[in-house]
Structure 1
Amino acid sequence: MSPESAPQRTVGLREGGPPTGVTTAPPPDQRDASRSSVSALPVPDVIATLGSSLRGLTEAETAVRRNRYGPNELPGVSRGQVWRRLAAQFTDLFAVVLLVSSAITFLAYWLGRPRDPATLQLALAILGVVLLNAGIGFAQEYSAERTAESLQAMVPHTCRVLRDGERRELPARDLVPGDVVILEAGDAVPADCRLIEAQEAAVNNAALTGESDPVARVAEPVPSGPLLQARNCVFMGTDLVAGTGKAVVFATGAATEFGRIYRLAAAAPRQQTPLQRQVALMARRVAGVALATGAVLFAVRVPSGQPFVDTFVFSLGVMVALVPEGLPATLSVSLAIGVRRMARRHALVKQLLAVEALGSTSVICTDKTGTLTQAEMTVVQLWADGVPHAVSGVGYAPIGEITDAEPVRELLRAAALCSNARLVPPTGRDAWRVLGDTTEGALLVAARKAGLDPAEEEVRTPRVAEHPFDSARKLMSTVHRDSDGTFFAYVKGAPLELLARCDAIDRSGTKTPLSDPVRTQVAAAADGMAGQGLRVLAVARRQAADPRPPLEDVESELTLLGLAGMYDPPRPEVREAVHACRRAGVRIIMVTGDHPLTAEAVARRVGIVSHPAPTVATGTQLDALDDGGLDALLASSGELLLCRVSPEHKMRVVTALQRRGEVVAVTGDGANDAPALKHADIGVAMGASGTDVAREAAVMVLLDDSFASITTAVGLGRSVYRNIRKFLIYLFSHNIAELVPILAATFAGFPLVPITAVQILAIDLGSDVLPALALGAEPMEPDVMNSPPRPRQERLFSASVVGRILFLGGIQALGVCAVFFWHIHASGIPYADFTKDSPVYREAITMVQAGIVVSQFFNALAVRTDRQSVFRAGLLTNPWLLAAGCFGIGLMAAISYAPPLQAIFRTAPLAPADWAVLAAFGALLLAAEELRKWVLRHRRTSPEGGRR
């Protein structure tokens, strides 16, 4: 919904607390006044309607209204109580299954006669796994979230107010409707206000509307219409960049336009990432398979005469074997590794799962100002005396050169004098910056590049009169007194408007009549600059008869000095980043509040637009489209620019793209971007130039404000997803090796389990987690950005992943089954005579556990690559993986030989020959996987585009 179609709200929406979305009564003894009528009323009527006066409110009235409307601040961001956030870690399906298993195992221990200490150990171990996973997940999320109340940083801490006719400086939170505030250039607007006095005032509304150009403000009434477009109103979260004024407050806190955007952002639900959906689906299926398998085996063993409690513990062991207990912790820490990698690339990710979602991004809806551009207007071309002059350097730092600067010195001197902006040198961590209109600031920078000092010129030629810029005239004029007492008027503005008022042109310092051919030449030069996407200003002068000539005299019979072409330069790294996104199949849609021509010019410079006629749609056109029409617009494969859009438009576009199955990333830096940032799959805010509300709503913050960091983050996200698949194959393949021996023993009539639940937990958490983490830290592969994004509906466990799990797990299962039954049969002891304390049985289950651990070491090496030989990739290129594998084998050795651990796990010491046999099985697994990769590499290229 656009601002034009938004319902108008009345003064004082907030009364003693957060807004409820309904109108409330105006100040005491006053009639209702809609917000739109505030802009249409004359100043005396506005003041009367709001129950105020030119002297401001009295302290008594202020106290009454403060109690009624509450403080001028936005509600704090609710993050939930710590204990609730910790408790949420136990709602994961894996955690629920394990908690239930632990509780039932505790019950089995108490009901057992005699009570088996191994059952108690199992219950405690399962509970410990749940607590460990919850602790890791909570720590990762809690450390990534920011606890600051970010929205409050957008509201100025103090403001100047008239109270009882006296000028006072008060905390901004103390403002109430009816207060009269005093504004000067550089001030942040503390509330929504109607101007009652304005002297050359201009505001920067970028935080609300996304439009980068300063907008002039007046005190006179304007026709009723959309409030944000009212030229006599200023709004919380914006800045006065030029002039001065007085304004009466008509809305505070959450009742402001800024508060409207806050409520819009707060209402937008946080979207689940693709990985969240995939892991949830995987958890349901694995849990279902585990419960079903355990139930079937329980039903098979109970009729055979096995003790009920022992049979239940056996079935529970099967369930535990199938549940990847270490997966939640491994996933959290692996994503955290991705977070740290992205942070080193200037991308701060606040939610772990967002790392993977970046890898599946298919559409980026990008803002323009401050995201693709540097948000610093820069003069790049001057035209004087019939000749263009190039200007080097970008931004507000006066570093650069002008080609043949002498002919344009008077042009730039006049432009600098006809300016209200101020160029501020760097101080501390702040770089060069402009106070006031950025266009005028760009002219000051160009003047410095020509060797002029605007401050000295102002002292030498002081201003004595001014006619502010007016949107009807499209001109601004100032009158100055020269050192010899002569008065000169300097005028700048739109080329065609100014050219019509000129009768002469400066030629090498000489005033020359402006003939029709020369007029045509000037107009062609201006059109040429505009055709390059430059904002063009013309500058002229004339001698004045007195210090305060009438406007019609000042802006007539002028001598044209020349033209200045400027633009907001794109970030130098953006073009390559856009190219990388195209190569990766990621679509880029520009969504901005700026004018379509400005947006298209920037889009062409950075490579988003390359075709002669891209599709350009404005917010008004979007309002005219129903959902079907919007879907058709977004479904077109051509280049698309969305301009003059509101926060509601952005949210609607994001929703429509998600409806089409796209994974959407949205970039932005203003408060107006916050709803779309939160509603998107990935909200990306600017860290340096962005507003705090945008950073709060986003899940990723670009610390360097560089669009190129998004491309890097997408590549890292894809790499994270590949690595997740690698350690999923690694983790689930050994689950097969744990389950198959149990099933084989059951159907072979062996009364005991080949591997206990406690041993399985030791493998899952002691031997497998570190190698899985090392796999999660595999470096990004070079070709990661050379393929299109994976479809949203693609499953984490694809056919190729499941096939590889079965292949590797099957080899491991055959190996451990072989060593177990070889030990059992070699002893010559009948099955029925085996007990839990039998030395042969303890050696056999130790061989099974050690066999899985050793084969997993070789498995970790095997899954590092999909097709490429691990020997070609380099066995030593991931030293953390080798170290983790050695740690797992060392832990297994301790379990085998250390008496305290032998008592816990019921293991026995293995002979060197046993280790040799296990190593041979592991090497066989690696050889089989290398053979599979060799077959894939040497398979003929398929018609669908497979490769050798």
Structure 2
Amino acid sequence: MMRTGADPSVAGGGKDRTSGRTSRTGPSGPSPDPIRRLAAGDVFSTLTTSRRGLPAAQARARLEQYGTNELPRVRRRSAWRQLGAQFTDLFAVVLIVAAAITFLAYRLQEPRDTATLQLAVAILGVVLLNAAIGFAQEYSAERTAQALEAMVPHTCRVLRDGERLEVPARELAPGDVVVLEAGDAVPADCRVVEAHELTANNAPLTGESNAVVCTADPVAAVSSLEARNCVFMGTDIVAGSGRAVVYATGATTEFGRIYRLAAAAPKQKTPLQHQVASMARRVAGAALAIGALMFAVRLPTGESLVPAFVFALGVMVAMVPEGLPATLSVSLAIGVRRMARRHALIKQLLAVEALGSTTVVCTDKTGTLTQAEMTVTQVWAGGATHAVSGVGYAPGGEVRDPAPVRELLRVAGLCCDARLVPPEGPGGRDHWRVLGDTTEGALLVVAAKAGLDPGAEEATAPRVTEFPFDSTRKLMTTVHKSGAGYQACVKGAPVELLARCTGLERDGRREPLTERDRAAVVATSDAMASQGLRVLGVARRGLDGPRPAQDEAEAGLTLLGLVGMLDPPRPEVTDAVAACRRAGIRIVMVTGDHPLTGEAVARRVGIVRGPDPVVVTGARLDTMDDEALDALLAEPSSELLLCRVSPEHKMRVVTAFQRRGEVVAVTGDGANDAPALKHADIGVAMGASGTDVAREAASMVLLDDSFASIATAVQLGRTVYQNIRKFLVYLFSHNIGELVPILAATFAGFPLVPISAVQILAIDLGSDVLPALALGAEPPEPDVMERPPRSRRERLFSASVVGRILFLGGIQALCVSAVFFWHVTSSGIPFDDFTKDTPVYREAITMVQAGIVLSQFFNALAVRTDRQSILKVGLVSNPALLAAGGFGVALMAAISYVPTLQDVFNTAPLDAADWAVLAGLGTLPLLADEARKWWLRRRTDLRKGVPR
């Protein structure tokens, strides 16, 4: 039975008398005191649990009673609201208004012209098509994001019936006993009942940057957030270890309350969205202005009001890129999906934009450049080195001549908190893994290779107390019952451990540790570190009692030897580093490891190639002011390694790079990386081995933890931005081809338009939207990673983009204008005698429409690349684009030959000679652009001194 009392911190629906806030649901009735004021033993009884944790059946029952440990889902817009939002885009609004006015003009006409009604329907058809495409992409992208986020694990370690298990955080229930270690995200609101230098970062809740040292003792804090014996969901453990009992989960936590407030905040637009919105306003404004100008020009010629308006409307429609919203959303969605297939989960569109301009990558070593599976390769004891075979956490392999090092490995295995987890068989994980520190996992594996059973050794020498590792003394000590006495097992950094040793074990005997021995140990440690090995020293000493002081347990030690382990580099990283170098991206390794270890790994993967890299430690960074740091980073060609650095150092380096105008990507996996991940232009977290805090802080998550995925994501990010520019060139160049003939006819005094608004909309539907969508799916160009990063200040409509639009659009405009005027003047009919039913006029406007469609087909091929010849990338390498272009040509043929469509579009059938002329003129944009690309390549080669 659960106890009853008056504890508002664990009761549902009450008021906290000390804080005044509504209390949170818990598993028990009230207690006389808030949970923070209870002794650790009373916490267990109040929450109806024990130090062994909840029984599995009781945990399931509580989960059903209180619900899953999840924050409330943000209410997503319904499908109908998402569809309705597609009609609020500025381009859509302009077209809807145009359709409404056109329909009104049709109603006012006497007699009514069905062509005006057809125009209104056609405009609405374009709006509906864009809305359908945009809705489909947004809905699909949302579903994809949800599925990808589910791939990122969120787990925690709990005690169930005394057994330490790893369970999904959502399955936590009030009363669960959670095991906390440095780097863990706190999965729920918990009361600490055991703390070993446990330190938590409560900044997400309190805004205080200083970490809080936790205690298991009762406290008389005014509110729960001020209680040092409570830890909260959304915060993280930065040091030490401990255990805590869950008293609030999900929406009833402090973080749940803040989360609901944050979820209500409006979503911010990215810079790209702002650029597109600004472009839409300018284009819409220009379209309205030119349309009004054409209306004013036509009225003095004696044309009636409605026809003049319809003419002006055609000009306006010609300028509006109706397919832009749909193609933009498709391009971004395709980019996100491509990155997901390459193991990069994009959480923010801003990351897609920034990836294309990344200039510096500050990368972790462990897990990113390496496999994050520490493997012991050497054991040194008594002056001899023993090689170890096998890679990873699977206990396959052996220790050469294991007898002299068994005691060293036994002691090292006892001084571990990690646990090896075997493969789980069909449906589970199919490889060995480690729960806990990977270095300790490697020690357990090498002990097994030497014929030891770590579990059996722990049972024979049970642990009675411990002194956890901390970054100040760089040691960990455990005390075990050993026969009639007690033994301290110590492991840690060789230099720090050696300073506490007075003896050395050789051939099973303890000998005094001489200065010569110390020098030999240091030399051996440095030699192992220079090979890229992480080196740990192992020592022990006998004790009289089970509860020694820390200074006593870690003094007068006997050194057993050294263990050298290697985290093997990922095989794909070397090529990825080389690709980043070619792309003009500087790679800086930022690691907490020894400089020799860092340099050895950097050389293996190609970050360091020269003889004298710049290696800077955290201690040296502390002595440098901002000017000195800026000078250090100013040389982009220098090979820079930052070793033995803290999170503060990492943050400072990122800020210094940004101060110089660099676009910085930062990788991280620990909670202490969160500040740098948030501050970077692109924060990249590890999805497999990273902490929840790091993943939350990042804008991109690598699902495979590999640096190669960063290089691929940069390539795809550049491709997304390039593809956006490609279809901008494609859309706006043919708008010029539609607009110029209309303007030319007006100023030449021709009474009719060379192309009607209905024909323009047919072009937009048939040879505009679909090819533009296919361009959004264009694969990366072969040389995309050979170019330098783009400037972060560069705009979508740069001078080069505008120049290419005018270049290609001008050629199309000249060709179709020439075709039109050649056809009408060669007939010998005076301009004033032309009507819309004149056969020559119908043939001329059909040729203009067909000329634009054919030139757009070849224009789509031209804009696929910026510099590379289309022949090099392959004419058929984007089959979707060819299919879209073929559909546009087929639709144009139907408009020319099908009688019903002839009536709708006022067109006439074209003969083979007409099609041949138009096809020849249509190839001119492609041929001209190929000549432009050749000249650019030629100029680049001449600058580089490449012979041709």
Q: What TM-score range do you get, normalising by the shorter chain?
A: 0.7 to 0.9
- Per the alignment, residue 113 of structure 1 pairs with 110
Q: Which residue of 1 aligns with 2:119?
A: 122
What secondary structure, in the 3-state scheme, does the structure 1 residue paired with 2:785 have? coil
CA distance in structure 2 between the partners assigned to 1:266 and 1:158 by the alignment: 29
For 2:647, the equivalent position in structure 1 comes to 645
User: Does the residue aligned with 1:835 lie in a helix, a strand or coil?
Assistant: coil
Task: Give the SS at the match of 1:797.
Answer: coil
For 1:393-792, list aligned pairs within 5 A.
393-402=390-399, 404-428=401-425, 429-430=428-429, 431-458=431-458, 461-463=460-462, 467-469=466-468, 474-479=475-480, 489=487, 491-494=489-492, 495=494, 498-499=497-498, 502-526=501-525, 528-529=527-528, 535-541=534-540, 559-566=558-565, 571-588=570-587, 604=602, 613-614=614-615, 639=640, 643-645=645-647, 662-669=662-669, 682-690=682-690, 700-792=700-792
Letter of the 2:561 partner, please give it.
Answer: G
Q: Report the alpha carbon displacement of residue 432 of structure 1 after superposing the two structures with TM.
A: 1.7
The 3 A distance-change label for structure 1 pair 468 and 351 is closer
Residue 24 of structure 1 aligns to which amino acid in structure 2?
S
- The equivalent residue for 1:7 is none
Q: State the Cα distance separating 1:108 from its structure 2 match.
A: 2.1
What are the Cα deviations for residues 528-547 of structure 1, in whole angstroms up to 9, with x where unaligned?
55677755433235678999
Give the structure 2 partner of residue 144 of structure 1: 141
Residue range with higher mean Cα deviation, 512-521 or 841-850: 512-521
The corresponding residue for 2:818 is: 818
Identical pairs, percent: 66
Deviation of the 1:781 alpha carbon: 2.6
Cα 1:106/1:690, change in 2 over 3 Å: farther
Query: Cα gap change, 1:505/1:938 in structure 2, threshold over 3 Å: closer, same or farther?
Result: closer
1:709 is displaced (CA, Å) by: 0.8
Q: Is the 8 A contact 1:270 1:679 kept in 2?
A: no
Show the counterpart of 2:887.
887
Aligned pairs for 1:246-261 (under 5 A) are 247=244
Distance 1:171 1:859 in 2: 53
1:335 CA drift (Å) = 3.6
Contact 2:734 2:812 in 1 (8 A): yes
Seen in structure 2, the aligned counterparts of structure 1 residues 71 and 725 have a Cα distance that, compared at 3 Å, is: closer
Is the Cα–Cα contact under 8 Å of residues 378 and 568 in structure 1 kept in the other structure?
yes
Q: What are the ranges of 5 or more consecutive residues in structure 1 without an aligned counterpart?
A: 1-10, 29-43, 60-68, 163-169, 210-214
Aligned to 2:53: none
Listed one character per residue, the Cα deviations across residues 763-814 of structure 1 (whole Å, up to 9, x for unaligned) are 1221233333444444323322122111122233333333333233222222
The farther-off stretch of 761-770 and 372-381 is 372-381
Distance 1:120 1:560 in 2: 94
- CA distance, structure 2, for counterparts of residue 445 and residue 614 of structure 1: 32
Q: Retained in 1: the 8 A contact 2:152–2:688?
A: no
SS of residue paired to 1:297: helix
Matched-pair contact (CA < 8 Å) for 1:330–1:773: yes
1:380-391 alignment, distance < 5 Å = 380-391=377-388
State the match for 1:48 in structure 2.
Answer: 37
Which stretch shows the higher mean deviation, 654-663 or 293-302? Answer: 654-663
Q: Is the 8 A contact 1:378 1:396 kept in 2?
A: yes
Which has the higher mean CA deviation after the structures are superposed, 231-240 or 740-749?
231-240
* Contact preservation (8 Å) 1:203, 1:238: no
How has the CA–CA distance of structure 1 residues 173 and 237 changed in structure 2, closer, same or farther, with 3 Å as cutoff? same
Aligned to 2:359: 362
Equivalent residue, structure 1, for 2:807: 807
CA-to-partner distance for each residue in 1:197-226, whole Å, 9 max, x for gaps? 45x7979999999xxxxx9987469999xx
Q: Which residue of 2 aligns with 1:827?
A: 827
Name the counterpart of 1:102: 99
Q: Residue deviations 1:883-905, cap 9 Å, x none?
A: 33332222211111112222221
Q: Which letter maps to 1:921? A: L
**Match for 1:863: what amino acid?**
V
**Alignment-derived partner of residue 65 in structure 1:** none
Deviations 1:643-673 (A, max 9, x none): 54379x96x9878877865545454456776
Structure 1: which amino acid aligns with 2:104? L
Post-superposition shift, 1:324? 1.7
8 Å CA contact 2:598–2:641 kept in 1: the answer is no
Q: Which amino acid aligns with 1:447?
A: A
Deviation at 1:321, TM superposition (A): 0.8
AA aligned opposite 1:742: I
CA separation in 1, counterparts of 2:550 and 2:616? 43
Rounded to whole Å, the distance in 1 between the matches of 2:671 and 2:88 is 34
Range that drifts further, 782-791 or 144-153: 144-153
User: Partner residue of 1:34?
Assistant: none
Does the CA-based 8 Å contact 1:382-1:564 persist in structure 2? yes
- Following superposition, the deviation at residue 738 of structure 1 comes to 1.0
Which residue matches 1:135?
A: 132
Q: Against the structure 1 CA distance between its residues 390 and 122, is the aligned structure 2 distance closer, same or farther, given a 3 Å change threshold?
A: farther
Compared CA separation, residues 284 and 400, structure 1 to 2 (3 A): farther
In the alignment, the residues of structure 1 paired with residue 619 and residue 265 of structure 2 have an alpha-carbon distance, to the nearest angstrom, of: 23
Pair 1:309 & 2:310 matched: no
Change (3 A) 1:346 1:552: closer
Deviation at 1:54, TM superposition (A): 5.0
Instruction: Give the CA deviation at 1:125.
Output: 1.9
Indicate whether 1:24 and 2:19 are aligned. yes
* Cα shift readout 1:109-139 (whole Å, capped 9, x = no counterpart): 2232333222222222222222322332232
Amino acid at match of 2:504: I
Q: 2:858–2:926: 8 Å Cα contact kept in structure 1? A: yes
For the residue of structure 1 that corresponds to 2:784, the secondary structure is coil
The residue aligned with 1:32 is none
Aligned AA (1:358): L
CA distance in 2, matches of 1:777, 1:267: 34
1 CA distance for matches of 2:617 and 2:887?
59
CA distance in 2, matches of 1:138, 1:270: 18
Structure 1 residue 518, shift from structure 2 partner: 1.7
What is the CA RMSD across the aligned residues, in angstroms?
5.4
Q: CA deviation at 1:384?
A: 0.9
Cα–Cα, structure 1 residues 868 and 438, in superposed 2: closer, same or farther, change >3 Å?
A: closer
Q: CA separation in 2, counterparts of 1:159 and 1:641? A: 39
Distance 1:81 1:228 in 2: 37
The 3 A distance-change label for structure 1 pair 518 and 223 is farther
User: Which is worse superposed, 293-302 or 382-391?
Assistant: 382-391
Encode CA deviations 1:513-557: one digit per residue, 9 max, x unaligned: 433322332244345556777554332356789999999997776
Deviates more, 1:116-125 or 1:721-730: 721-730
Structure 2: which 5+ residue stretches go unaligned?
Answer: 1-7, 24-32, 49-65, 163-168, 206-211
- The alignment partner of 1:705 has SS state of coil
Moved more, 694-703 or 898-907: 694-703
Amino acid paired to 1:520:
A
Contact 2:233–2:255 (8 Å) recurs in 1: yes
Report the CA distance between 1:756 and its aligned residue.
Answer: 0.8
How many Å separate the matches in 2 of 1:367 and 1:874?
39
2:26 alignment counterpart: none
Report the TM-score when normalising by structure 1.
0.78
> How many Å apart are 1:569 and its aligned residue?
5.4
Using the alignment, how far apart are the partners of 2:586 and 2:521 within structure 1?
A: 40
Partner of 2:57: none
SS of residue matched to 1:785: helix
In the superposition, relative to structure 1, how do residues 195 and 905 fare at CA in structure 2: closer, same or farther (>3 Å)?
A: same
The offset of 1:922, in angstroms, is 2.3
Contact preservation (8 Å) 2:723, 2:778: yes
- The residue identity in structure 1 corresponding to 2:477 is M
Change (3 A) 1:578 1:265: farther
In structure 1, how many angstroms separate the alpha carbons of the residues matched to 2:552 and 2:615? 45
Query: SS of the residue aligned with 1:704?
Result: coil
1:287-366 equivalences in 2 (<5 Å): 287-349=284-346, 355-364=352-361, 366=363
